[in-house]
Amino acid sequence: MTRETVGKISQDLLHNATVLDHSAHEQMSEQLKDYEANVISAIDAGKKSFDHDFFLVVLTKKERLMQNVLRNYFLTRSSCPTPDWDQAVYHYKRNTGELEFLWVVPSKLVCKMFKEHALQIDESERVLRDFVLSFEDGTLLAKSKRLNGEQEKSLFLKLS
């Protein structure tokens, strides 16, 4: 028995899709199906690679040729990343084994929509809105720099 490729399935779904095919909740549930297992796997890999605190970065990417296929990539790194679109960041604290969720920044399009309609965002999405606004105003970048022990440079010139 031959299995259909992801590309064929993707094209068939796009061709036959209607607006009411699935809800946002159904899409989110499908995307997050293996998320927790992948987080645990990435933490285990990070523990083997680092003997100190580290950061877990989850990048969400659309497949180039299959725009309805999203994939999450789980990476560990020693330093806190610069905030960017389609990114979730966690801080793993080795001494306590605690995984601290730092932020999530959705796609560029979603960020634009949240910024333009910040006051109309539903209560259930206000946490995400706050992350978007913190990304836009540089608060997340300042947090990243602080976690990396970097000094923030002033944006103002001193007049002498």
Helix (H), strand (E), coil (C) string for the chain: CCCCCHHHHHHHHHHHCCCCCCCHHHHHHHHCCCHHHHHHHHHHHHHHHCCCCEEEEEEEEECCCCCCCEEEEEEEECCCCCCCCCEEEEEEECCCCEEEEEEEECCHHHHHHHHHCHHHCCHHHHHHHHHHHHHHCCHHHHHHHHHCCCCCCCCCCCCC
Res. 127 pLDDT band, cuts 50 70 90: very high
Is position 56 within any domain?
yes
- Distance in Å from the first CA to the final CA of the chain: 78
Is position 160 within any domain?
no
> For the chain, what percent of residues have pLDDT higher than 90?
56
Residue 123 has pLDDT above 70, yes or no: yes
Res. 151 pLDDT band, cuts 50 70 90: confident
Res. 8 pLDDT band, cuts 50 70 90: low
Res. 144 pLDDT band, cuts 50 70 90: very high
Residue 38 has pLDDT above 70, yes or no: yes
Q: How many distinct structural domains can be found in the chain?
A: 1
Is position 31 within any domain?
yes
Look up the domain containing 52 and give its range.
21-147
Sort 141 into a burial class: Cβ within 10 Å, 0-12 / 13-18 / 19+: middle
Section 2-7 average pLDDT = 65
Res. 160 pLDDT band, cuts 50 70 90: very low
Nearest to 131, CA basis, from 148, 150, 151, 107:
107
Average the pLDDT over each of 91-105, 107-121, 124-138 and give the range with the smallest value: 107-121
Is position 59 within any domain?
yes
pTM as predicted: 0.75
